[in-house]
């Protein structure tokens, strides 16, 4: 029962923190830091899909070195399939799994296990959330469910931030148009 309490606590804390965010990048950063802490992991990264280049672009990360983060492009169609097939991927040993795009860099970084889940919004895959551990991790169904819930919250919050920014911009444009019309009608 204590593990369930940890999961509920994680969701409540994360949702509360994300609800204060007004920028998609801030949502990603809060998510990566919260997930790293919740799972007591080596690191966590949030990626978004670039539809033109078919690469996963890093938006935020916690606990990983710049060298690892700059290892090279992460291809959407070739990399771990969580972003392509909308299924979670649990990898116990990154050195013994052909789906890992940069296994030597993972070893150098000290990554042993990995959990990847898609970030989905409006039934579209917009990215991936990945959790990295330095020790072998027997990833449970509850671990996967928590990561999926966090990824869904992250995706919704990013969309809400984009809409907020769009509405804010629209209001500013309308205000400027109204002010120009007032100025012109007074002449």
Q: Domain segments of the chain: what residues?
A: 2-185
**Residue 179: alpha-carbon gap to chain centroid:** 40
Tokens representing 135 are 């020790």
Tokens representing 167 are 């509405």
H or E element, residue 130: strand 124-133
CA distance linking residue 141 with residue 143, whole number of Å? 5
Judge whether residue 52 has pLDDT over 70.
yes
> Under DSSP, is residue 22 helix (H, G, I), strand (E, B) or coil?
coil
- pLDDT of the residue at 144: 93
Judge whether residue 21 has pLDDT over 80.
no
Tokens representing 165 are 């920014």
Query: What angle, rounded to 10 degrees, do the helices at 2-19 and 141-185 form?
Result: 10
Top-ranked range on mean pLDDT: pick from 77-81, 94-98, 111-115, 124-128? 111-115
- pLDDT of the residue at 186: 56
- pLDDT of the residue at 166: 67
Residue 99 pLDDT grade (very low, low, confident, very high; cuts 50, 70, 90):
confident
- pLDDT of the residue at 60: 93
The answer regarding whether domain 2-185 maps to CATH 1.10.260.40 reads: no
CA distance linking residue 187 with residue 148, whole number of Å? 59
CA distance linking residue 169 with residue 34, whole number of Å? 30
- pLDDT of the residue at 131: 96
Tokens representing 19 are 């609800």
Judge whether residue 11 has pLDDT over 90.
no
């Amino acid at each position: 029962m204590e593990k369930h309490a940890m999961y509920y606590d994680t969701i409540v804390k994360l949702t509360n923190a994300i609800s204060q965010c007004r920028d998609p990048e801030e949502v990603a950063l809060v998510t990566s830091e919260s997930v790293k802490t919740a799972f007591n992991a080596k690191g966590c990264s949030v990626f978004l899909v670039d539809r033109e280049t078919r690469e996963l672009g890093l938006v935020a990360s916690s606990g990983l070195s710049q060298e690892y983060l700059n290892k090279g492009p992460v291809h959407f169609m070739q990399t771990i399939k969580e972003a392509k097939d909308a299924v979670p991927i649990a990898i116990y040993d990154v050195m013994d799994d052909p789906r890992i795009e940069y296994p030597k860099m993972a070893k150098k970084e000290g990554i042993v296990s990995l959990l990847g889940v898609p970030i989905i919004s409006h039934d579209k895959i917009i990215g991936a959330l990945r959790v990295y551990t330095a020790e072998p991790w027997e990833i449970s169904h509850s671990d996967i469910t928590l990561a999926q819930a966090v990824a869904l919250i992250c995706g919704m919050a990013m969309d809400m931030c984009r809409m907020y920014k769009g509405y804010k911009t629209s209001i500013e444009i309308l205000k400027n148009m109204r002010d120009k019309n007032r100025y012109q009608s007074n002449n």
